[in-house]
């Protein structure tokens, strides 16, 4: 353990960083008084957290940054954790991507958008929802009741007549002047009330409008409003949700088992439970500090902030966290530790969900371990394949050749570990040479960083497997990394060319003539097929991106006044050459730095 002179550190709020070998940031923390906080790490009684002795063995130096207030220290701590991702700080990972519904009321004719990121852009966000398919089905029902627009007004206004959605009664066609802004805003208000769970208010408002329409002898309008009321009532009856009191709340539950902690959030919106999200936390903290770190990490992301956070126990930093969250949201956020009543029941329910999530995760982990053990035995691997990498090559007639690497960690996809390779040394369509380049680049970096896979899966037969074996021998890794080639299934046909049988995928191993097979429908077979397909998808996506950029370059490079920076700005604004070609002169002028004369020049050049 390093020697430290505590007199050098101030009795002031701030942030401390602990560094290890190669100047790596191991841990970032904040303190109300830096000197006292650092002294606790070196006291005879210890810090009290189980991981601290392991951390302090690796710490070589400590740096501090003084702040004026504890809140500034909190903000700086979040910034540094996001920047360095220290291994001893909490790193939240779960296996789901949540979606929200966005409505921008600054737009004259707002529309509903399903998004995966919540931005501080002034728009209204509803959610989060765990199932994108379910919320899209809900939105389809909403369109039948409140026909908002589905697409860009600029795009739809180019049509000679309204779109098909308008013809079937699911779009009010503001792009063709079929509805004014005031009437459209009434539809939007109804949608917002539905998404907030205030169906009774919507029904009451529609009933009033229906009565007025009937009194004014506008029976068609009254019938339409009657149908809307009926559709809402059926939707509410189908949901059969449970009331949990009013307001928007995030309820936190924890379950601890040994050194593992499962943290679960329940999302209550307008008194209705709309979803759940769980995180496994492996860091062995005392629970109050763990919960405080979890809240900082989770809510520093782009997520929807509620009116209240219901916590299982009180936190010393609750006031500071509440002030930070209120400032981030722009409205008051209260942190509460209920002792009785409905809110306490919600906390107990969140705890039960954390217990169930931990149990289910344990079952999934056991199933994955059995699957990986089957792969180890089938492919005669030197160890359990906890990290599996799969590679694929993509090109069209030798142009824009790219390679892809996708990764499984403990049987689960790890998109953060995916990598793309732009082929640099190979001319033409030579998949073997391209694969050779990709593997050499990957393994060279892996040896240097001591980050190597347990097994490599190659999309291809014996030829591609031979390339992999050659590269592994170059790096003396043949006995450490398992090599497997996956070949597409064979199709058996009769004399008339009709398919009569299809074999399973075949897997080839170095030095073995006959392929390895799995039983039909096995989990291991499905896992490897999915991994191969993901590598192919990832490579194709990158190839199309490079090809699109090249097409954009060739189409715009001859237009006077359009240089590399302008091409980049156009692509960033519109996203593709197709959208640039479809844009009007007015839309082109919306690109930052675009003059009206240059917009007209680009428009006419692309139209010609």
Residues 412 and 497 in one domain: yes
Residues 356 and 398 in one domain: no
Q: Where are the alpha helices (DSSP H) in 196-286?
A: 199-215, 219-239
- For the record, the structure tokens of 481 come out as 């990394």
- Please report whether residue 524 resides in a domain: no
Among 84, 110, 126, the domain boundary falls at 84
Cβ contact 245:343 at 8 Å: yes
Q: State the total domains in the chain.
A: 4
pLDDT at res. 241: 40
- Please report whether residue 321 resides in a domain: yes
Do strands 260-269 and 249-257 pair parallel, antiparallel, or not at all (unpaired)? antiparallel
Mean pLDDT value across residues 171-186? 89
- For the record, the structure tokens of 245 come out as 């009191």
Query: For the domain that residue 315 is a member of, what is the CATH number?
Result: 3.30.420
Domain that holds residue 598: 557-607
Residues 422 and 504 in one domain: yes
pLDDT at res. 407: 92
3-state secondary structure 453-521: CCEEEEECCHHHHHHHHHHHHHCCCCCCCEEEEEECCCEEECCCCCEEEECCCEEECCCCCCCECCCCC
Residues 509 and 397 in one domain: yes
Residues 394 and 347 in one domain: no
- For the record, the structure tokens of 40 come out as 């606790």
- Please report whether residue 177 resides in a domain: no
Among 489, 504, 519, the domain boundary falls at 519
Whether the per-residue pLDDT at 76 is higher than 80: the answer is: yes
Whether the per-residue pLDDT at 292 is higher than 90: the answer is: no
Largest CA distance in the chain: 90
Residues 397 and 457 in one domain: yes
Percentage of the chain surpassing pLDDT 70? 86
Whether the per-residue pLDDT at 505 is higher than 90: the answer is: no
- Please report whether residue 334 resides in a domain: yes
552 vs 197 pLDDT, higher one: 197
Query: For the domain that residue 501 is a member of, what is the CATH number?
Result: 3.30.420.340
Whether the per-residue pLDDT at 416 is higher than 80: the answer is: yes
Nearest-angstrom CA–CA distance, 437 and 430: 11
Mean pLDDT value across residues 515-526? 84
Residues 336 and 287 in one domain: yes
Residues 80 and 42 in one domain: yes
> For 118-155, what is each residue's pLDDT tens digit?
887 888 888 787 667 777 877 887 887 788 988 888 77
- Please report whether residue 122 resides in a domain: no
- Please report whether residue 174 resides in a domain: no
**Is the backbone of residue 593 left (phi > 0), alpha (psi -120 to 50) or beta?**
left
578 vs 411 pLDDT, higher one: 411
Residues 320 and 253 in one domain: yes
- Please report whether residue 533 resides in a domain: no
**Per-residue pLDDT band at 396 (split at 50, 70, 90):** low
Nearest-angstrom CA–CA distance, 591 and 570: 7
> For 262-288, what is each residue's pLDDT tens digit?
899 998 887 778 778 888 887 655 788
Cβ contact 282:49 at 8 Å: no
Query: For the domain that residue 38 is a member of, what is the CATH number?
Result: 3.40.1440.10
**Per-residue pLDDT band at 56 (split at 50, 70, 90):** confident
pLDDT at res. 443: 92
> For 199-240, what is each residue's pLDDT tens digit?
777 778 778 878 888 888 888 878 877 877 776 666 544 444
Nearest-angstrom CA–CA distance, 432 and 437: 9
DSSP 8-state class, residue 283: -
Query: For the domain that residue 601 is a member of, what is the CATH number?
Result: 1.10.150.20
pLDDT at res. 237: 43
pLDDT at res. 493: 57
Task: List b or e across 317-345, with b for residues whose CB sees 16 or more CB atoms inside 10 angstroms.
Answer: bbebbbbbbeeeeeeebebbebeeeebee
29 vs 560 pLDDT, higher one: 29
Whether the per-residue pLDDT at 589 is higher than 50: the answer is: yes
Whether the per-residue pLDDT at 337 is higher than 90: the answer is: yes
- Please report whether residue 219 resides in a domain: no
Mean pLDDT value across residues 5-10? 81
pLDDT at res. 491: 56
Residues 355 and 391 in one domain: no
The mean pLDDT of the chain is 81
Enter the pTM of the model. 0.59
Residues 20 and 76 in one domain: yes
pLDDT at res. 470: 92
pLDDT at res. 384: 92
Among 469, 494, 519, the domain boundary falls at 519
Residues 486 and 565 in one domain: no
Report in angstroms the alpha-carbon separations of 138 from 99, 134, 195, 239, 541: 13, 6, 9, 11, 30
């Amino acid at each position: 353990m390093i020697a430290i002179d505590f007199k050098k550190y101030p009795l002031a709020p701030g942030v401390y960083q602990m560094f290890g070998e190669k100047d790596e940031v191991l841990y970032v923390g904040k303190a109300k008084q830096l000197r006292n906080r650092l002294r606790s790490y070196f006291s005879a009684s210890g810090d009290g957290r189980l991981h601290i002795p392991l951390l302090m063995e690796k710490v070589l130096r400590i740096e501090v940054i003084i702040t004026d207030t504890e809140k500034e220290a909190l903000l700086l701590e979040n910034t540094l954790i996001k920047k360095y991702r220290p291994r001893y700080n909490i790193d939240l990972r779960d296996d789901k991507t949540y979606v929200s519904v966005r409505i921008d009321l600054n737009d004259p004719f707002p529309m509903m958008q399903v998004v995966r990121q919540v931005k501080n852009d002034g728009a209204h966000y509803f959610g989060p929802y765990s199932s994108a398919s379910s919320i899209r089905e809900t939105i389809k029902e909403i369109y039948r009741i409140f026909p908002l627009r589905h697409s860009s007004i600029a795009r739809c206004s180019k049509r000679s007549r309204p779109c098909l959605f308008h013809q079937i009664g699911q779009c009010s066609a503001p792009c063709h002047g079929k509805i004014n802004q005031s009437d459209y805003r009434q539809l939007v208000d109804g949608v917002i009330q539905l998404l907030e769970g205030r169906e009774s208010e919507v029904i009451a408002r529609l009933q009033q409008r229906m009565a007025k329409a009937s009194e004014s002898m506008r029976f068609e309008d009254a019938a339409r409003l009657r149908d809307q009321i009926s559709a809402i009532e059926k939707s509410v009856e189908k949901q059969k949700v449970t009331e949990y009191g009013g307001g928007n709340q995030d309820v936190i539950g924890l379950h601890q088992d040994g050194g593992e902690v499962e943290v679960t959030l329940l999302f209550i919106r307008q008194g209705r439970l709309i979803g759940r999200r769980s995180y496994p936390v492996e860091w062995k903290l005392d629970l109050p500090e763990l919960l405080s770190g979890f809240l900082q990490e989770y809510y520093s992301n782009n997520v929807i902030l509620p009116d209240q956070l219901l916590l299982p126990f009180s936190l010393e930093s609750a006031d500071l966290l509440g002030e930070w969250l209120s400032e981030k949201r722009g409205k008051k956020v209260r942190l509460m530790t209920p002792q009785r009543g409905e809110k306490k029941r919600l906390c107990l329910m969140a705890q039960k969900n954390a217990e169930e999530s931990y149990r289910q995760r344990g079952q999934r982990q056991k199933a994955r371990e059995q699957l990986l053990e089957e792969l180890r035995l089938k492919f005669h691997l030197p160890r359990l394949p906890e990290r599996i990498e799969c590679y694929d090559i993509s090109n069209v007639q030798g142009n824009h050749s790219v390679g892809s690497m996708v990764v499984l960690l403990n049987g689960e996809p790890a998109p953060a570990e995916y990598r793309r390779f732009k082929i640099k040394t190979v001319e033409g369509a030579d998949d073997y040479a391209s694969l050779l380049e990709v593997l050499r680049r990957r393994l060279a970096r892996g040896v240097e960083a001591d980050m190597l896979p347990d097994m490599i899966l190659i999309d291809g037969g014996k030829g591609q497997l031979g390339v992999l074996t050659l590269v592994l021998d170059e790096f003396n890794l043949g006995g450490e990394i398992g090599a497997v080639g996956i070949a597409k299934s064979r199709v058996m046909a009769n004399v008339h060319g009709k398919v009569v049988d299809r074999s399973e995928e075949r897997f080839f191993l170095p030095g073995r003539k006959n392929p390895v097979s799995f039983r039909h429908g096995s989990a291991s077979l499905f896992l490897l097929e999915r991994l191969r397909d993901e590598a192919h998808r990832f490579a194709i996506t990158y190839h199309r991106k490079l090809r699109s950029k090249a097409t954009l370059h060739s189409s715009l490079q001859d237009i006077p006044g359009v240089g590399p920076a302008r091409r980049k700005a156009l692509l960033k604004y519109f996203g593709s050459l197709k959208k640039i070609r479809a844009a009007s002169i007015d839309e082109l002028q919306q690109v930052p730095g675009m003059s009206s004369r240059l917009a007209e020049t680009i428009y006419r050049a692309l139209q010609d």
